[in-house]
Amino acid sequence: MKDKVVIITGGTSGIGFASAKLFLENNAKVIIIGRDQVKGEAATIALRAVGDSVEFIRCDLSKVSECQNLVKKIIDNYHKVDVLINNAGLYYEKAIMDMSEADFDEMMNINIKAAYFMAKEVAIQMKKQQSGAIVNISSDAGINGNFLCTAYCASKGALTVFSKALALELAPYHIRVNCVCPGDIDTPLTQNQFSGVADKDKALEELAQLYPLGRIGKATEVANVIYFLASEQASFVVGATWSVDGGISSY
């Protein structure tokens, strides 16, 4: 992965941060993307303890024009893009009867629209290079339905199938597209689900017991799969959907 240019959306925490660290450990040039400047700067400082070749760029990925400007800036600075990790995501639980149009649009804008147009802009450059890898981070909810998560499941289901369609479209240009579907992972996103629960530790333990392994996953465990799919070790892996969910999707 030496000197490969890697873009990671949602790279300031959780799975994105763990992935950025792993790519840096393997001498890649990493650009992490997020909306929060303070979090981005803090993540960059932490990552520079691993490697110097990391940069944070603030971007609202829900806006197509910002995606376009972001990719243009990266290409102007680095002259290529080798890997795109579409990891930015939004999650919350809400019954369909309580979902507003604004709620639905927000979920779709981050979870599928942003990934779609980031992939589009990056694919234009990768086609010129005749090489590249795109890894979309979906969810086990993109395969199976979850309670009180209709909008989230719809967005992640769209991302899962989009990945397969995009893989077929881009494979002739030697661009590999794959999808990762994590289960519950110990990240700020998962922790925030239980922020209003009286006994948070008990709720997390009950969640863990739903899994065949008796625990939820670690961000590093997902990052390992992302790295593999982005690397030449997965040179014949195209259009695959990888469940990293401790076996819960096997029920």
Q: Which residues are catalytic?
A: 152
Q: How would you classify residue 174: left for phi > 0, otherwise alpha for psi between -120 and 50, otherwise beta? A: left
Tell me how far apart the alpha carbons of residues 244 and 215 are, in angstroms, rounded to a whole number: 13
Tell me which DSSP letter residue 82 carries: -
CA angle at 228 for the pair 227 and 232, rounded to the nearest 5°: 110
Beta bridge partners of 182: 244
Tell me how far apart the alpha carbons of residues 55 and 57 are, in angstroms, rounded to a whole number: 7
Q: Supply the DSSP string of 93-152, one letter for each residue.
A: ---GGG--HHHHHHHHIIIIIHHHHHHHHHHHHHHHHT-EEEEEE--GGGTS--TT-HHH
